[in-house]
Structure 1
Amino acid sequence: MSSSRSDRKKAAKELMRVTKTSPSHRAAFGQIPNAFSTLLRPLSESKVELHLDLQEDLITTVLNLSTDDSNKAEMGENPVAIPLLIESMKYGTTETIINATAALSTLTQLDSNKLIIGKSRAHVTLLELLRAGHPLAMREAALTMTNLCTVHENKTRFIEIGAVPVILQMINGSMLVDELLGILAQLSTYPNAIEELREVDTVPCLFRIMRDSYSGITKENCAVILFSVCSKNEAFLRELWIEETNNRTLAELADTGTERAKRKAFDLILEMRRALPSLRITT
């Protein structure tokens, strides 16, 4: 990019424009040697937030370029790209923060990038955005977390920094319920996450969502979490039985849910029968 500050801004604006409108330019960009390092050099030479307009244009260009599959691996392996995206998720205009998060989300579509991003401490920034970011940034953060949580190490990282109580609080507040239930279902098979889920009123919350939701996937994720929380725990199975006696939510799910939801619902009913043989439990 041009060396003077004014020329850099003009070049960044033009590059943002052409990479937004032209797929061929996005693909061609990645073929240029050291293209991504050169693009990001103005941000890597000083604090990213010092030149907000230039930062916004460059990060938007990164987002545009990341949508081309041929660029994803090179961007993930570039030593400055992911760190600068994470910095721009913390400092910058609202548009910059949203676009930086969206770019990171796009990069997580590639499996090798999930490992790289997981080691970069992006999970801390993502959880902060999820907790208190702009609504669009929160949604992008949730999508990024969903993609990252297909990797075991990343699930452990999110649990260790307290993602479970944050997600539960947001679900109870009716925020991004469908998206966050998907993340919680991924985390709920881990012992530390199960302990945290058992410390709050998870069962009533999940049953309320199952009764109110029209989404088969949402109901499925609720059933997955319920199985993790209640399985092999008599106290929680008894709570489950009370709910089932009053509303027959699991019986209905075992009949009408997705295939996975049907299996989980049926397994929970069997668990109740085994653990509480004196109680009348029907399907």
Structure 2
Amino acid sequence: MAKSAECGVVPQAKATVEMKRELERMVNAIVEEEDYTVEATDHAMGILWALKDLKLKAVMKPQELLGLDNFCFSAVPPPPPELRCPISGELMKDPVVLASGQTYDETFIQKWLKDGHQTCPTTDHVLPHTLLTPNHLVKKIISKWSKEKTSEMSSAEMEGGEEYVEDANLQQFTTLLERLSSSSLSDQKEAVKETRVLSNRSPSFRARFQDAIPQLFDTVLLERANSYIDLREDLVAIILNLSVHDSNRKLVGETPSAIHFLIETLRNERIETRSNAAAALLVLSTLDSNKHIIGKSGAIKPLIDLIEEGHPLTVKDAAAAILSLCTVVENRAWAVTLGAVTVLTKKVMDDILIDEMLDILAILCSHQKAVEELGELGAVSCLLDILRKNVSELNKEKCVAILYTMCFSDRTKLREILAVESACETLSNVAQTGTSRARRKANGILERLN
């Protein structure tokens, strides 16, 4: 009875009033101060979440409340900014990467693009293309964050002493850095393992690491990582975790030893570690300045090799990293020179990850040598076959876009297309039923044929 009184109407009403006052104070501070902090917005969001919970509890029927835990609703901290969609402000369900390198919830960015926008909502830069790439890393992080927040609601687990550091202690951080440079292998391994756990769980810890990233890549530690697989695996995971933080992304990208370390890991480590290395390069490549650095450092060839190898754990991240890197013209040229077109086309013909492979081919075919290779590999008939299959409208759009580029770069391909079109009317069907872009491209090819 005492417990139900604590969670009763009067205490809830009092809590609501207090939270509304606090929210008003926070909102006024944010509106009036130009240089307001992220913490202030997070605090305001937390209050809104708590008010929403109280409101839901007030309007729910008694039988609906039976499935809820018997404790008072409290202010639940909102997701960290990197896990929220910049458009909706909500925790992302299906994070995807736009051509600008920004990540959005697929539902909201698709609506933005369907409304006719040709720019990135965050940067306001014109988009070179509107292809969306699944951000598997952010999705994994969101899943982990959700599980951790659920477990935090259990006081029993909290009292059990689970190590979860939200506000990194400065003294603890300083001690950890000293141990990372320890001459003792066992102590160094333990410090790296602890850093991996903290960098995975705590956003504040990731932010605090900004000034200490070079210490992760001192000569002694890297030499040991080359000899001990477990140490290399932990270091790769740390780079991936730290790179989620925007400021760290630039610092890691501008640390040559870090990029070379990831590239070497792509070549000769066990598959889980190689997957993390590919994912780390994908995250780092979302920053434009890093695209140039990563490309010049020689990452493209081992990423192509991972795609050709085709392991389920690595191929998607490797393809997404290549796609991101190839938004830069010189990286596109290197990818073509290093044999990407052959590898990607074979994957399409084998019906393996067609979405991802077509995304990359659609970018690469702006290079003349790529068009020539596509023609030699028999890509025209392959793409026309895909158009006749029951595939997504987006994939049909990509196929038509590639064919369109091929036709206008190599007139000899028109005869091959004309022979198939006369028999099957493949492009004519797309011109009537495809997306607006697919219809436009298909009509362009048909006009060329006529």
Q: State how far apart, in whole Å, the 2-side matches of 1:234 and 1:157 are.
A: 25
Aligned with 2:291 (options 108, 111, 114): 114
Q: Is the 8 A contact 1:65 1:71 kept in 2?
A: yes
1:1-283 aligned within 5 A: 1-3=180-182, 4-30=184-210, 32=211, 35-41=212-218, 45-46=222-223, 48-231=225-408, 233-273=410-450
Q: 1:43: how far off?
A: 6.9
Q: 1:185 to 1:232 in 2, by over 3 A?
A: closer
5+ long unaligned stretches in structure 1: 274-283
Unpaired runs of at least 5, structure 2? 1-179
What displacement does 1:239 show?
A: 2.2
User: For the Cα contact (< 8 Å) 2:239–2:280, is it kept in 1?
Assistant: yes
- TM-superposed CA distance for 1:41, in Å, is 2.5
Answer whether contact 1:48 1:92 (CA < 8 A) is retained: no
Q: Mark the CA change 1:6 to 1:179 in structure 2 (over 3 Å): closer, same or farther.
A: same
1:252 & 1:164 partners in 2: Cα distance?
Answer: 28
Which secondary structure state, in structure 2, belongs to the residue aligned with residue 121 of structure 1?
A: coil
User: 2: CA distance between counterparts of 1:176 and 1:39?
Assistant: 35
Q: Which whole-Å deviations, capped at 9, do the CAs of 1:230-260 have from their partners, x for residues lacking one?
A: 2365542222123223332212222332332
Check 1:114–1:42 CA distance in 2 against 1; reply closer, same or farther (3 A cut).
same
Letter in 1 for 2:312: P
Q: Shift of residue 101 of structure 1?
A: 0.7
Residue deviations 1:64-106, cap 9 Å, x none? 1111112111111112111111011112222211101100000
Q: How many residues align?
A: 270
Q: Is the 8 A contact 2:224 2:231 kept in 1?
A: no
Matches of 2:237 and 2:390, distance apart in 1? 36
Q: Is the 8 A contact 1:253 1:261 kept in 2?
A: yes
| One-letter code aligned to 2:272 | E
CA, structure 1 residues 122+5, in 2 after alignment: closer, same or farther (shift >3 Å)? same
- Partners of 1:232 and 1:18 lie apart in 2 by 52
* Aligned equivalent of 2:108: none
Deviations 1:164-217 (A, max 9, x none): 111111111111211011111111121111111111221121012122243222
Q: State the Cα distance separating 1:142 from its structure 2 match.
A: 0.3
CA distance in 2, matches of 1:43, 1:191: 46
RMSD over aligned Cα atoms? 1.8
The alignment partner of 1:175 has SS state of: coil
Q: With the length of structure 1 as denominator, give the TM-score of the two structures.
A: 0.90
Give me the whole-angstrom Cα distance separating, in 2, the residues matched to 1:146 and 1:176. Answer: 13
SS at 1:189's partner residue?
coil
Please say if residues 43 and 84 of structure 1, whose CA atoms lie closer than 8 Å, have aligned partners that are also in contact.
Answer: no
SS at match of 1:57: helix
**CA 1:258 to 1:5, structure 2 compared with 1: closer, same or farther past 3 Å?**
same
Residues 47 and 263 of structure 1, relative CA distance in 2, 3 Å threshold: farther
SS in structure 2 at match of 1:46: helix
Percent identity between the two aligned chains: 42
Please identify, of 249-258 and 226-235, the stretch whose mean Cα deviation from structure 2 is larger: 226-235
SS of the residue 1:80 aligns to: helix
Does the 8 Å CA contact 1:108/1:144 hold for their aligned counterparts? yes
Q: 1:62 Cα shift? A: 0.7
- For normalisation by structure 2, the TM-score amounts to 0.57
The 3-state SS of whatever aligns with 2:359 is helix
Pair member with larger Rg: 2
The 1-side partners of 2:353 and 2:314 are apart by 12
Cα 1:108–1:136 change in 2 (3 A) is: same
Q: 1:258 to 1:39 in 2, by over 3 A?
A: same
Match for 2:190: what amino acid?
K
Tell me by how many angstroms 1:47 deviates: 6.7
Contact 2:181-2:215 within 8 A present in 1 as well: no
